[in-house]
Amino acid sequence: MNILSYEFNQEGMSRVYENEKWTVGIKNWKPANDIKGIDCLERHNKTDELFVLLSGECVLVFANEINNDLKIETVNMEPYKVYNIPQSLWHNTITMKDTKMVLIEDSSTSMENSDILPLNAQQILEIQEKVNV
């Protein structure tokens, strides 16, 4: 038996390790996660998701639904801290070109138990202002 290692150096995200309980992915910058490309939020309805920033910059965008409206907030990630996205919380990441993150989630997390929420022009502008670009 040997120790295995995994890496991913392309744009976007790849699940580099998965077993029956959990998965580990590496997430790098991609155009859809750029401040100019953000157009939606997502939520996982049955599972939490964890992010760890390894290098670069990342802003976590999250939103709670209050009275049929979204209260959008942001968190500037700090390297090597673990950020927990609780199940059912709308979220997305805004990354810069040199960003590298690790994500950890239940292996059952999929689009079958997740939702995508398209953002309108006003919401995108609100996010861009909060991120200060």
Domains in the chain, start-ordered, CATH in brackets? 14-131 (2.60.120.10)
CA atoms within 13 A on the CB side of 71: 4
Rounded Cα distance between 69 and 32, Å, is 23
What local confidence, expressed as pLDDT, does residue 123 receive? 95
**What's the rounded mean pLDDT across residues 2-25?**
95
What strands, in cross-sheet order, belong to the sheet with 69-76? Answer: 69-76, 58-66, 90-95, 40-44, 114-118
Q: Is 12's pLDDT higher than 60?
A: yes
Residue 92 pLDDT grade (very low, low, confident, very high; cuts 50, 70, 90): very high
Model confidence pLDDT, tens digit, residues 29-77: 999 899 999 999 999 999 999 999 999 999 999 999 998 889 999 999 9
Task: Supply the pLDDT for residue 64.
Answer: 95
- pLDDT of 133 over the 60 cut: no
